[in-house]
Chain A
Amino acid sequence: MIRMLPVFNLLVLLATAVLIPVFSKRVFTKIKQISTVAMIFATVSSVISLAYVVQIEGYSIVFGGYTSAIGIELTIDAFSALFAVFISALAFLIIVYSFADITHEIDEDQYGSYYTLVFILLFAMMGMTYTNDLFNMYVFMEILSLTSCAIISIKRKKANYLAALRYLVLNTIGSLSVLMGIALIYMVSGHLNMGQISLIIRDIWQLYPGNIVVALGFILTGLSIKAAVFPLHVWLPDAHSNAPTPSSALLSSIVVKVYVIATIKLLFKVVGADIVTSLQIPPVITIVAALGMIMGSIFAIGQKDIKRMLAYSSVAQIGYIFLGIGLMSEQGLSAALFHVISHGFMKSALFLSAGAIIYYKNRRNIKLFDGLGYQMPVTMIIFSFAALGMVGIPGFSGFMSKFYLLVAILEAGVPFYLGVILVSSYLNAVYYLPIIISAFLKEDKEGVRTMKVEKLPKSMLVPLIIIGVVIVSIGFYPQLIMQFIELAVATLIN
């Protein structure tokens, strides 16, 4: 029974999404109850399945009782179970936060469709993490791109429609190039199941090298459009800054990461590290990642609007992750996976606290943050935890991911990227530290010196505090997560 928990996880998320419009006519609390129950089930079941996988063994489920080459297969191993826990836990916190925050962002009659879209988004993300079938991954990718545009355009404002349409156009081009890549791989392998393809990838590589090269080119371009890798990130700032806060938190801390997971699956599970290295792809990835780290931070410096600044800093942090992947080593991959999780928590802390500031003080311009630390101490403390983590100050999860990345770089013997990380961390400091300084050291107009807890609804403060605790605890005891990541990396590079 426990073996089938991930599938129930998916079906419960989908059933909740489908049932919400039926209830949405009634009062909002009914939707809140259903969503909380569904999210509790999703998080608990993913934790149980992770524990099962770690203690006993990874396994795979094929629908319809067929063999893996015939039916669709879901693999539940350390890699997919770990990220299922990451997605459901973080999404649970963001959804609890959104119960109060959403009332300020969208109209009364839209609550039902908002939570329907969020739950379908979660269904698609969990599906993409578990699936071991190329076309099934494409179907979930389409659902993901449709719902992530829909949760942006749900806010009835001109800028949102424009941002959603640009995002949709670029996202569809990304999905189409991924589908073209899948078609090319299917043309020469005849299989859609990742396991089957990886078995015969070597002699395909001998017979039709051209196919693999063009297929990888299409898939990597498509996935980097969707993961907002530097040169193809143009849609991200508008999309993430106009969206309602819970949506932009979901988008930049989880949705972007799911495409990173898909890239890792494709590069390591389907094609295999040796063919990818023989194709000279890793140097390209690392150069593009380094470019993204620098340029993303430079763009972020010039921003006045807090959300737009956080969006640009996401582009830079994606660069860190792809740098880890590009090193093609076990150490590099575990650094990338660690940063996926640590950045997920840090970025959601930043976005949720920015949302709390907009909710409470209705201020988006960074210049007006003076003395905010006294009026909103809890929010600003969590904000500075995450911001210091982003800069890489020891004691927060950001430092640990940079540390693992440095170790991987030294091991890979490419010291040039040490400089890139230092420059990028310095640039991060240039745009994060002034906010903390102005919030705590400068005084606002009334010169309020006494620190009193702000009157934010509890359902917004509790998730913030939990995320803050997680950031600090990963910072001090990275082994909490690193043990799972090492298992996950072992399944990828065996």
Chain B
Amino acid sequence: MELLTSILDHINYIGAAALFVIGLYTVLTHSNLLKRIIGINIMETSIFLFFVSIGYVSQGQSPIIQLSETTAIYVNPVPSALILTGIVVAVSITAYALSLIIKLYKAYDTLDYFEIMEKSQEVSSND
């Protein structure tokens, strides 16, 4: 019973850990390059969820200061401010990875990682 309440107390973090492991599984097992990028995005979302739920305060408001009430409880603003930066980083990494995939698809006309490896082996052995 005590375990159950403890799990409920950390439900966000456990969810984030589960997403992290799912993302890692997608990256490691899928040979389609697009699925790998999706896996990386899942991992990124999991870490953003983890980071933001650190700052969560149960009865807290969003950190826009109301000058009228002075006794309001606010959520911890620092993790959300940091995650803004993290999201933009995730966007630019995904944009760059997709542009590489476009070029790879034009060169090898397949998205399967192992086929690309075989084709690149053939090419490098005879040049």
Compute how far the CA of A183 lies from the CA of B96 in the bound complex, rounded to whole angstroms.
25
Q: Are B47 and A183 neighbours in the complex by a CB distance under 8 Å?
A: yes
For B37, the closest partner residue in chain A by CB is A169
Q: Are A146 and B96 neighbours in the complex by a CB distance under 8 Å?
A: yes
Compute how far the CA of A192 lies from the CA of B51 in the bound complex, rounded to whole angstroms.
13
Instruction: Give the distance to chain B from A127, nearest Cβ to Cβ, in Å.
Output: 14
Q: Quick check: is A381 within 8 A (CB to CB) of the other chain?
A: no
Query: Could you say which of B79, B85, B108 contacts A186, with CB atoms under 8 Å apart?
Result: B79
Q: Are B107 and A180 neighbours in the complex by a CB distance under 8 Å?
A: no
Q: Are A168 and B82 neighbours in the complex by a CB distance under 8 Å?
A: no
Q: Quick check: is A9 within 8 A (CB to CB) of the other chain?
A: no
Query: Could you say which of A164, A173, A176, A192 contacts B100, with CB atoms under 8 Å apart?
Result: A164
Residues of chain A with a CB closer than 8 A to B120's CB: 158-159, 162
Compute how far the CA of A161 lies from the CA of B79 in the bound complex, rounded to whole angstroms.
35
Q: Are B123 and A150 neighbours in the complex by a CB distance under 8 Å?
A: no
Residues of chain A with a CB closer than 8 A to B103's CB: 153, 161
On whether A161 and B43 interact (CB within 8 A), knowing A168-B93, A187-B54, the answer reads: no
Q: Are A176 and B107 neighbours in the complex by a CB distance under 8 Å?
A: no
Instruction: Give the distance to chain A from B96, nearest Cβ to Cβ, in Å.
Output: 6
Q: Are B124 and A183 neighbours in the complex by a CB distance under 8 Å?
A: no
Beta-carbon contacts under 8 Å, A6-41 to B? none
Instruction: Give the distance to chain B from A156, nearest Cβ to Cβ, in Å.
Output: 8
Residues of chain B with a CB closer than 8 A to A176's CB: 40, 43-44, 47
Residues of chain B with a CB closer than 8 A to A183's CB: 47, 50-51, 54, 79
Q: Quick check: is A172 within 8 A (CB to CB) of the other chain?
A: yes
Residues of chain B with a CB closer than 8 A to A186's CB: 51, 54, 78-79
Q: Quick check: is A165 within 8 A (CB to CB) of the other chain?
A: yes
Q: Are B79 and A165 neighbours in the complex by a CB distance under 8 Å?
A: no
Q: Are B36 and A173 neighbours in the complex by a CB distance under 8 Å?
A: no
Residues of chain A with a CB closer than 8 A to B40's CB: 169, 172-173, 176
Compute how far the CA of A192 lies from the CA of B40 in the bound complex, rounded to whole angstroms.
25
Instruction: Give the distance to chain A from B38, nearest Cβ to Cβ, in Å.
Output: 12
Q: Are B96 and A180 neighbours in the complex by a CB distance under 8 Å?
A: no
Q: Quick check: is A139 within 8 A (CB to CB) of the other chain?
A: yes
Compute how far the CA of A352 lies from the CA of B25 in the bound complex, rounded to whole angstroms.
40
Q: Quick check: is B6 within 8 A (CB to CB) of the other chain?
A: no
Q: Are A139 and B116 neighbours in the complex by a CB distance under 8 Å?
A: no
Compute how far the CA of A101 lies from the CA of B50 in the bound complex, rounded to whole angstroms.
46
Q: Are B100 and A165 neighbours in the complex by a CB distance under 8 Å?
A: yes
Residues of chain A with a CB closer than 8 A to B51's CB: 179, 183, 186
Instruction: Give the distance to chain A from B40, nearest Cβ to Cβ, in Å.
Output: 5
Q: Quick check: is B104 within 8 A (CB to CB) of the other chain?
A: yes
Beta-carbon contacts under 8 Å, B64-119 to A? 78-79, 82, 85-86, 89, 92-93, 96-97, 100-101, 103-104, 107-108, 116-117
Q: Are B104 and A165 neighbours in the complex by a CB distance under 8 Å?
A: yes
Instruction: Give the distance to chain A from B45, nearest Cβ to Cβ, in Å.
Output: 11
Residues of chain A with a CB closer than 8 A to B20's CB: 180
Q: Are B97 and A165 neighbours in the complex by a CB distance under 8 Å?
A: yes
Query: Could you say which of A139, A180, A192 contacts B85, with CB atoms under 8 Å apart?
Result: A139
Q: Which of A142, A149, A150, A165 has the most CB of B within 10 A?
A: A165
Q: Are B100 and A135 neighbours in the complex by a CB distance under 8 Å?
A: no
Instruction: Give the distance to chain A from B94, nearest Cβ to Cβ, in Å.
Output: 9
Instruction: Give the distance to chain A from B34, nearest Cβ to Cβ, in Å.
Output: 11
Residues of chain A with a CB closer than 8 A to B96's CB: 146, 149-150, 168
Q: Mark A115-148, 1 if CB is under 8 A from B, else 0.
A: 0000000000000000000010001001000100
Q: Are A142 and B93 neighbours in the complex by a CB distance under 8 Å?
A: yes
Query: Could you say which of B27, B54, B107 contacts A173, with CB atoms under 8 Å apart?
Result: B27
Q: Which of B20, B24, B54, B101 has the most CB of A within 10 A?
A: B54
For A143, the closest partner residue in chain B by CB is B89
On whether A139 and B89 interact (CB within 8 A), knowing A162-B116, A165-B33, A183-B50, the answer reads: yes
Residues of chain B with a CB closer than 8 A to A150's CB: 96
Instruction: Give the distance to chain B from A27, nearest Cβ to Cβ, in Å.
Output: 28
Residues of chain A with a CB closer than 8 A to B85's CB: 135, 139
Residues of chain A with a CB closer than 8 A to B54's CB: 183, 186-187
Q: Are A179 and B47 neighbours in the complex by a CB distance under 8 Å?
A: yes
Instruction: Give the distance to chain A from B120, nearest Cβ to Cβ, in Å.
Output: 6
Q: Are A158 and B97 neighbours in the complex by a CB distance under 8 Å?
A: no
Compute how far the CA of A158 lies from the CA of B122 in the bound complex, rounded to whole angstroms.
13
Q: Are B108 and A180 neighbours in the complex by a CB distance under 8 Å?
A: no
Q: Are A153 and B92 neighbours in the complex by a CB distance under 8 Å?
A: no
Residues of chain B with a CB closer than 8 A to A187's CB: 54
Residues of chain B with a CB closer than 8 A to A158's CB: 104, 107-108, 120, 123
Q: Are B97 and A168 neighbours in the complex by a CB distance under 8 Å?
A: yes
Instruction: Give the distance to chain B from A290, nearest Cβ to Cβ, in Å.
Output: 27
Would you list 7 pairs from A and B whose C-beta atoms are within 8 A, ordered by A residue?
A149-B96, A158-B107, A159-B124, A165-B33, A169-B40, A176-B47, A183-B54
- Residues of chain A whose beta carbon lies under 8 Å from any beta carbon of chain B: 135, 139, 142, 146, 149-150, 153, 158-159, 161-162, 164-165, 168-169, 172-173, 176, 179-180, 183, 186-187, 192
What are the 10 closest A-B residue pairs judged by CB atoms, nearest first? A158-B107, A165-B100, A183-B51, A142-B89, A161-B103, A187-B54, A161-B104, A176-B43, A161-B100, A135-B82
In the complex, besides A139-B89, A173-B43, A192-B78, 11 extra interface pairs with C-beta distance below 8 angstroms are A135-B85, A142-B89, A150-B96, A161-B100, A161-B103, A161-B104, A162-B104, A165-B101, A180-B20, A183-B50, A187-B54
- Residues of chain B whose beta carbon lies under 8 Å from any beta carbon of chain A: 20, 24, 27, 33, 36, 40, 43-44, 47, 50-51, 54, 78-79, 82, 85-86, 89, 92-93, 96-97, 100-101, 103-104, 107-108, 116-117, 120, 123-124
